[in-house]
Amino acid sequence: MKNHKFLLFVLVLTFGLFLAACGSSDEGEESDAGAEGTEEGTSGEGEATASDDYSIAMVTDIGGVDDKSFNQSAWEGITAWGEVNGLSQGNGFDYAQSSDKADYMPNLTRFVRDEYDLVYGIGFELKEDIQKAAEQYPDTNFALVDDVVEADNAVGITFSEHQGSFLVGVAAAMKTTTDKIGFVGGVDSPLIKKFESGFIAGAKSVNPDIEVDVQYAESFADAAKGKLIATNMYDSGVDVIYHASGATGNGVFNQAKDIKQNDPEREIWVIGVDRDQHEEGAIGDHNVTLTSMVKRVDVAVQDVANRGMLGEFPGGETLEYGIEDDAIVAATTNEEAMTEDIITAIEDYTKQILNGEIEVPHTEEELTTFLESL
């Protein structure tokens, strides 16, 4: 009897080893791919290959996918991610354009219905709809760019915009010849207040007496309103305008270029936002883009997509990308305008921010306290 039991044990063990050997080839390859993805994929721009059929999509805010700013940067990141992973638009990644706030939920629902693994909402204006979608569709993962969302199947992607705005504020204060600079915001909100507060803090750190004209268009998609605000600012003596207004900022660029075309000798500048907007400032042999506060939305969306592909989606978390991640930078593309002294000053202030010597304000209250300390 004991011999029969021993024989049965040997047969079971042998069969188990046989099955393990049959499965080891595929499982080993998957494990190796996952290890490579972890090494490269978490950088935001590397390739992650743990899943061959992972798909992602994004829903724009009303600024549109070609707003030359925030949405466009996100789409460029998603497109780059798709190309690295051998995918194409409509076959692994896609986007839906929103022309009105009422489009947000139908666009999100469409991608859920099409069984996309990860759906991004681009901009804080989608917060309510992303929250609702995450609760209604627990089997789909969601990501909200620029705000917090509370759900186990969703992640909030945020940035240290106030730090980057501080740095371009330094550039504006060093470049102005009138000691008058301007800020054009899209919608007056806590997010855009981060841009405004950081910008003013940076400029006044260079020159406490500098004047900063602040105006809001109350839209991220009204280029005509942006042009009108810029016209009034430039007419009042402002010579550098920083915009944080999405497609509304196209009007700021248009007005600056009109002025430059009519008076090539006049010093007039725009500071771009979200992506390097150097090309938007080109006018003949000149360029009115002083610098841009580059917010690497493309890096962030790729990073989250890679984590999801590797089965490591950070659901329930809020991620923040900043200077230390190379996700917030002041562009130096305009080499003629961004002189060595400006770049050196930005580098010095960057070090002070990173080592904690400077705590950049991101609200009006913190800005007031900051300015009192100058």
Q: Please report, for the chain, the start and end positions of each structural domain, with discontinuous segments joined by +.
A: 56-159+298-324, 161-295+339-372
Q: What is the pLDDT of residues 240-251, one digit of tens each?
A: 999 999 999 999
Task: Output the pLDDT for position 67.
Answer: 86
Q: What is the pLDDT of residues 154-173, one digit of tens each?
A: 999 999 999 999 999 999 99
- CATH code assigned to 161-295+339-372: 3.40.50.2300
Q: Tokens 């354009």 appear where?
A: 97
Q: Using alpha carbons only, give the angle 318, 321, 322 rounded to the nearest 5 degrees.
A: 140
Q: Name which residue leads in pLDDT, 27 or 134.
A: 134
**Fold agreement (56-159+298-324, 161-295+339-372):** yes
Task: Output the pLDDT for position 324.
Answer: 92
Which residue type is seen at 131?
A: Q
Task: Output the pLDDT for position 350.
Answer: 98
Element (H, E) at 258: helix 249-262
> Residue 41: which residues within 8 A CB-CB, separation 6 or more?
47, 48, 303, 306, 307, 309, 310
Q: Does residue 268 register a pLDDT over 70?
A: yes
Task: Output the pLDDT for position 70.
Answer: 85
Q: Name which residue leads in pLDDT, 63 or 232.
A: 232
Q: Name which residue leads in pLDDT, 23 or 223.
A: 223
297-309 helix and 70-84 helix, angle to the nearest 10 degrees: 40
Q: Does residue 7 register a pLDDT over 80?
A: no
- Mean pLDDT score across all residues of the chain: 89
- CATH code assigned to 56-159+298-324: 3.40.50.2300
Q: What is the pLDDT of residues 31-87, one digit of tens each?
A: 333 333 333 333 344 454 445 699 999 999 998 999 888 899 999 999 999 999 999
Task: Output the pLDDT for position 164.
Answer: 98
Sheet with 211-216, edge to edge strand ranges: 211-216, 180-185, 240-244, 269-274, 289-295, 328-330
Which residue type is seen at 248?
A: T
Question: Do residues 374 and 204 touch, judged by C-beta distance below 8 A?
Answer: yes
Q: Name which residue leads in pLDDT, 20 or 314.
A: 314
Question: Confidence band (pLDDT; 50, 70, 90) for 267?
Answer: very high
Task: Output the pLDDT for position 52.
Answer: 65
Q: Does residue 26 register a pLDDT over 50?
A: no
**Lowest mean pLDDT, pick from 11-15, 126-130, 350-354:** 11-15
Q: Does residue 206 register a pLDDT over 50?
A: yes
Q: What is the pLDDT of residues 288-331, one digit of tens each?
A: 999 999 999 999 999 999 999 999 999 999 999 999 988 999 99
Burial of 135 (0-12, 13-18, 19+ CB in 10 A): middle
Element (H, E) at 306: helix 297-309
For the segment 81-95, the average pLDDT, to the nearest whole number, is 97
Q: Name which residue leads in pLDDT, 51 or 179.
A: 179
For the segment 146-153, the average pLDDT, to the nearest whole number, is 96
Question: What is the rounded CA–CA span in Å between residue 333 and residue 169?
Answer: 17
Q: What is the pLDDT of residues 96-139, one digit of tens each?
A: 999 999 999 999 999 999 999 999 999 999 999 999 999 999 99
Question: Confidence band (pLDDT; 50, 70, 90) for 367?
Answer: very high
Question: What is the rounded CA–CA span in Å between residue 87 and residue 92?
Answer: 5
Task: Output the pLDDT for position 184.
Answer: 98
> Residue 260: which residues within 8 A CB-CB, separation 6 or more?
266, 268, 283, 286, 288
297-309 helix and 2-41 helix, angle to the nearest 10 degrees: 170
Q: Does residue 15 register a pLDDT over 80?
A: no
